[in-house]
Amino acid sequence: MRYGICNETFGDWPLKRACEFAAACGYTGIEIAPFTLAGDPRELSAAERAELRRTIAQAGLDCIGLHWLLAKTEGFHVTDPDPTVRDRTVGYLGELARLCHDLGGRILVFGSPQQRSLLPGVAAEQAFGFLQDVFDRLVPALEATDTVLALEPLSPIETDVLNTAAETCRLIEAIGSPHVKLHLDVKAMASEDLSIPEIIHASAAQLEHFHANDVNLQGPGFGAIEFGPIFQALHDIAYSGWVSVEVFDYTPGAERLARESIAYLQRVDEEIG
């Protein structure tokens, strides 16, 4: 397995410190939340982007890509019935694809529950059509930057749009581009009727990226979810992508979350053999 960690885990640490600590723990990749780089990441200059890329590389890490794409933004929504809002959202996501490329990354994880949830008067099937419209029109920017948009199913607690891997795969297949694939997250999969290994097996053909965490919102190994069957399923499908640690409850502290999460994942992987 290739292990990465999301940079917001480290709070207000400078990127250099976060990367060096992640590398010391054994991670080989880092995933970036754009809002941690600038108030408006589109405004980062070419020189600033190059310096960020050097900072990641000098720590011995790969830039995996971006996630939390629409967090802390305003005016963007992928299922808004107003075409001007969707146009603006396509444009912004295209700029993030260029930022991802400039940083040396490839994957853009699309979760953004608030910016995809149903708006008043919009039916679920309408929303599906709006999603397809937005992501269809994003494909040229993904192709130009050689990036992949990884769509993330999320639990009904977070959103009412794309709650299952099967539904998300239906959208991916409707778009029909190798630049739009599936992202799976452990805490989100735990909300489905199928078991996590069953979801992994059923969506193997579309799986691009993977987040490791627990339903308690902390790191893998910090809660009740056993990763042995999960890693066995990833081995069964010959998954060769990243396993990124993404947490939402930082109570244990950045150092402990980073160290103990990867130690647990490595131990589970070794036990599988």
Average pLDDT taken over every residue of the chain: 98
What tens digit of pLDDT does each residue of 48-101 get?
999 999 999 999 999 999 999 999 999 999 999 999 999 999 999 999 999 999
* Predicted local confidence at residue 150, as pLDDT: 98
CA dihedral 182, 251, 4, 24 (to 10 degrees): 180
pLDDT (mean) for 216-226? 98
How much of the chain, in percent, has pLDDT values that exceed 90? 99
For the cut 90, the answer to whether the pLDDT of residue 190 exceeds it is yes
Per-residue pLDDT at 186: 98
Structure confidence at residue 13 (pLDDT): 97
pLDDT of residue 273: 79
pTM metric for this prediction? 0.96
Q: Mind listing the pLDDT tens digit for each residue in 19-33?
A: 999 999 999 999 999
Measured from the Cβ of residue 84, the count of other Cβ atoms closer than 10 Å reads 9
| Beta carbons within 8 Å of 38's beta carbon, 6+ residues apart | 44
CA distance 148 to 240: 15
* Cα angle for residues 54, 60, 61 (degrees, 5° grid): 80
Average pLDDT over residues 246-261: 98
- pLDDT at residue 258 tops 90: yes
Taking only the tens place, the pLDDT of each residue in 98-126 is 999 999 999 999 999 999 999 999 999 99
- How is residue 210 written in tokens? 């993977």
Reported in sequence order, the residue ranges of 139-194 that DSSP labels E, i.e. its strands, are: 148-151, 180-185
Q: What is the mean pLDDT of residues 253-261?
A: 98
pLDDT one-digit tens code per residue, 228-248: 999 999 999 999 999 999 999
